[in-house]
Homo-oligomer: A and B are copies of this chain.
Amino acid sequence: MDIYLDNAATTFPKPEVVIEAVADCLRNGAINAGRGAYPLALKAERLIEDTRNAVASLLNYNNEGRVLFSASATLALNQVLLGINWHYGDIIYTTPFEHNSVSRVLQHLQDTINVKLITLPINCKTLEYDLDAIKQMFNKMPPKALVMTHVSNVCSLITPVGIIAEMAKSYEAIVVIDGAQAGPLLPLEKAQELVDFYIFSGHKTFYGTFGIAGFVTNGKVPLTPIIFGGTGSHSELLSMPEDLPFRHEVGSSNIVAIAGLHAACGWLEETGIANIREHERALFKQTVEELNEYPDVKMYVSGNLENHLGSLSFIIEGYTAQEVGIILSQEFGISSRTGLHCAPLAHKFLGTLPHGTVRVGFGYFNTGEDVESFVEAVRTIID
């Protein structure tokens, strides 16, 4: 049996309750919700609302936090970032660790309406954000918006989003957080107040399946729809309805994936958010500590390992990342992910272009033995 260390791409395996919920829904309730008056449709609609509430609660939003579902975090990010009412030349601060699902959208905004993108300063050795410098930058060039990954998909570095958001809010900046690699494992304090849009992915740190994601909004910043279609409500209009969630949720709800996400939320609650987070982080720290013995292994980690979640990026002297990935897979049955991880700016910052790094991402179902096998494999490669 292979050892799966690609949990930053998608968590795998899924909790048994998620698999069962998906299979059960597909067999017994995979109908089109909310647009029919029959029992299965009404039941589906209740499930959708329950899932919205569960997600909002896990992400620490209060009752006024509104969850809107999308098919993927990428789509949700597009809906938010292209839907904001930008003005020519608006200043947007961002981190050096954005995924292309953010960077490519921001690039498009730069190309089309000349938004000015400023990267938040961070020490390239300690990987710590320079909060004083950020304060000064905000003072000189006040942010219109702040778009930050919560956790880097390349190296699981945690952005201190709460502190930076608080600074930005004194300039009334719009705050958008890409939580695809974080939510709900790192619930924020004052989310409702500080974060206008928190994007989540169902199939990553939520431990659900593909096909469901979305964002929570505190309702303060209106969005213009970027996708048009049927909403099952106000069907007589040829424009998109004004009210949420219809304004941004178009087409049939993916009730099967929502059933999986609902079960995942229950599993997260039961297992304990902190337990999952600390398990992932413990495996990460164990790996870093063991690999620290090998000077040929270069790891991209903060001086403070608590600033990471569960994924490690590294290279081995004398090998490309791709070579290491192939050896890990073919000789040791270990699944990793190599290259740029759809985050070229992060690799530019880390100095790991053009080949990128090897990434091993730990999930709740990994064990200390998996770490041992992986470290042993690295040792063999080096020797």
Which residues of A line the B interface, CB within 8 A?
Answer: 2, 4, 6, 9-10, 12-14, 18-19, 22-23, 26-27, 30-32, 35-41, 71-75, 77-78, 99-101, 103-105, 107-108, 203, 209-212, 226-232, 235-240, 250-257, 260, 322, 325-326, 329, 334-345, 353-354
Contact = CB atoms under 8 A, between A and B. Distances in A.
A86 to B, nearest CB: 15
Interface of A is mostly: loop
B9 A35 contact: yes
9 contacts: A10-B31, A18-B26, A37-B329, A100-B231, A105-B228, A107-B228, A108-B228, A210-B256, A236-B344
Contact of A26 (B99, B209, B255): B209
A7 to B, nearest CB: 10
Contacts of A9: 31-32, 35-36, 252
Given A26-B23, A27-B19, A75-B75, A104 B329 contact: no
Contacts of A251: 72-75, 101
Contacts of A6: 31-32, 36, 38, 41
A379 to B, nearest CB: 20
Nearest to A328: B38
A342 B77 CA distance: 26
Nearest to A78: B227
Name the 8 nearest CB pairs between A and B, nearest first: A71-B71, A230-B342, A211-B211, A74-B251, A9-B32, A74-B229, A101-B229, A38-B335
A71 B211 contact: yes
Nearest to A329: B38
Contacts of A12: 30-31
A323 to B, nearest CB: 10
A105 B211 contact: no
Nearest to A356: B235
A30 B14 contact: yes
Given A71-B72, A105-B228, A250-B74, A336 B36 contact: yes
A107 B227 CA distance: 12
Most buried by B among A30, A41, A240: A30
A256 B13 CA distance: 13
A105 B229 contact: yes
B74 A256 contact: no
A236 B37 CA distance: 49
Contacts of A345: 238
Nearest to A240: B104
Contact of A209 (B32, B256, B322): B256
